[in-house]
Amino acid sequence: MKAAELIEEIKELSPYKKLGKVTKVVGLTIESRGPHTSVGDLCKIHVSKAKEPVLAEVVGFKEKSVLLMPLTTTKNISPGCLVESTRKPLEIKAGRGLIGEVLDGCGQLLSGRELPKGLSSIPTEQDPPNPLQRPRITEPLSLGVKAIDGLLTVGKGQRVGVFAGSGVGKSTLLAMITKNSEADVNVIALIGERGREVKDFIERDLGEEGLKKSVIVAATSDQPALMRIKGAMTATAIAEYFRSQGLHVNLLMDSVTRFAMAQREVGLAIGEPPTTKGYTPSVFAMLPRLLERAGTDERGSITAFYTVLVDGDDMNEPIADAVRGILDGHMVLDRELANKGHYPAIHVLKSISRVMGDITHSTHQESAENLRYLLSTYYDSEDLINIGAYKKGSSSHIDEAIDAYPDILTFLQQRTDEKYTYEEIIKALQKRFEGGGVQA
């Protein structure tokens, strides 16, 4: 900064610190008279019974009052507590020193230790890349999962939704992607998870191999709604930092549904009208702002996987419908397949990758389409086959599908400890399903 700019900045500084005062606390919302601030700014509420001030964000205004929402609980906040505005939004630290660490929603180490040195300060909320400056997705990303690499090929910079009900294997699939992917670094956001599941995911699903190239951001279900929202924003900002360094990043968020639920809590608390299933308009405004930040830019890429928890396995509920319309593809995990012991329980006929045609060669696409056709033919006739009503020879297409079905199951199923390269998967797919059917 030049000397003249510094002088002008000094002239604008006030020798007085303007503070506000808490006037009311209702539910999740704190009302204060002053200070002069803007929506999105971080404020400090000075509480006499606490050593550290309570951090809160400005979420709106009501007549002459400032509406604040704390990043922690409202405990010990009383009328008359002083409110100081930082005049800037929440910033976090990011850098390679975070790899292998577990952070909270504000970017602090969950273990309570000090952050490593040499990190850079970045804002949690940033604008998505300019659409005209986004390079096209032209290169496949190997994830090491046969059903995905073979039939739902994902490109570097693609954004994919993983849609499933509870207990169908979303977290296990994310862990497989983390361990097997060829991405440079993984950023994993656990939003609204049960506290017990965080350590289970790290030690059981992810393991030492997955953790050594990952950054984990955890905002559990017991934390305030704003902290859960910030957890999603913090993870995305860290992924953006690594992308700016020219790296290929995997961003895995479990789940975007709980992010939407947290925003619904905030919206209802400040007086927004509820719409479909109680979700407020701000939820549907926030979703594209979050999801569009992933993808490619001139330096690197963020390949994003967002899990969507669908209530009652209803794939058309409001959040699932909105997210599916924003992303570049979706994988549907089917409860019936999971109940049969079919893992990963990806229903390939209900799933799609919108960029697969641009990043795979024609023989790969033909083999994938042939497998889909055979599987679809088998499912259409499955009831007849199971009750013995189908007579072999009645249809050559059904006969071919019945003969191919064991090979299809072998290809689509995979243990969590199995790992394959992209080349091995494509070779196996083409060997079994190239041309008009399974080769003898």
Judging by DSSP bridges, how do beta strands 91-94 and 102-103 pair with one another? unpaired
Q: Which residues contact 1 (CB under 8 A, 6 or more apart)?
A: 9
pLDDT tier for residue 2 given thresholds of 50, 70 and 90? low
SS3 (DSSP) at 183: coil
Residues 141 and 157: their CA atoms lie apart, in Å, by 9
**Residue 248: which of 153, 184, 328 has the closest Cα?**
184
Whole-number pLDDT of residue 1: 56
Distance in angstroms (rounded) separating the CA atoms of residues 126 and 292: 11
Q: Could you tell me the two tokens for 414?
A: 């995979």
The angle subtended at Cα 168 by Cα 306 and Cα 258, nearest 5°, is 40
CB 66 within 8 A of CB 55: no
Q: What is the pLDDT of residue 393?
A: 79
Rounded to whole angstroms, the Cα distance separating 225 from 218 reads 13
Euclidean distance between CA atoms 19 and 83, whole angstroms: 5
Tell me what percent of the chain is helix, strand and coil, each rounded to the nearest 5.
40, 20, 40
Whether pLDDT at 433 is above 60: yes
The model's pLDDT over 221-246, given as tens digits with 9 standing for 90+, comes to: 889 899 999 999 999 999 999 999 99
- Return d(Cα 327, Cα 297) in angstroms, integer: 17
Sign of CA dihedral 402, 403, 406, 412: negative
Residue 264 has pLDDT above 70, yes or no: yes
For residue 327, the 8-state DSSP code is S
In three state form, how does the secondary structure of 15-26 look?
CCCCCEEEEEEE
Rg of the chain over CA atoms, in angstroms? 25
Predicted pLDDT of residue 319: 92
Task: Give percent above pLDDT 90 in the chain.
Answer: 57
Q: What is the mean pLDDT of the chain?
A: 89
DSSP letter at 333? Answer: B
Contact between 311 and 317 under an 8 Å Cβ cutoff? The reply is yes
Q: How confident is the model at residue 261 (pLDDT cuts 50, 70, 90)?
A: very high
Number of C-beta neighbours around residue 44 at 10 A: 16
Tokens of 214: 């990952």
Amino acid type, 245: Q
Tell me the pLDDT tens digit for each residue of 35-65.
Answer: 989 998 999 999 887 778 899 999 989 888 9
Q: What's the distance, CA 348 to chain centroid?
A: 21
Q: Which residues contact 426 (CB under 8 A, 6 or more apart)?
A: 149, 150, 364
Q: Which residues pair with 187 in a beta bridge?
A: 215, 251
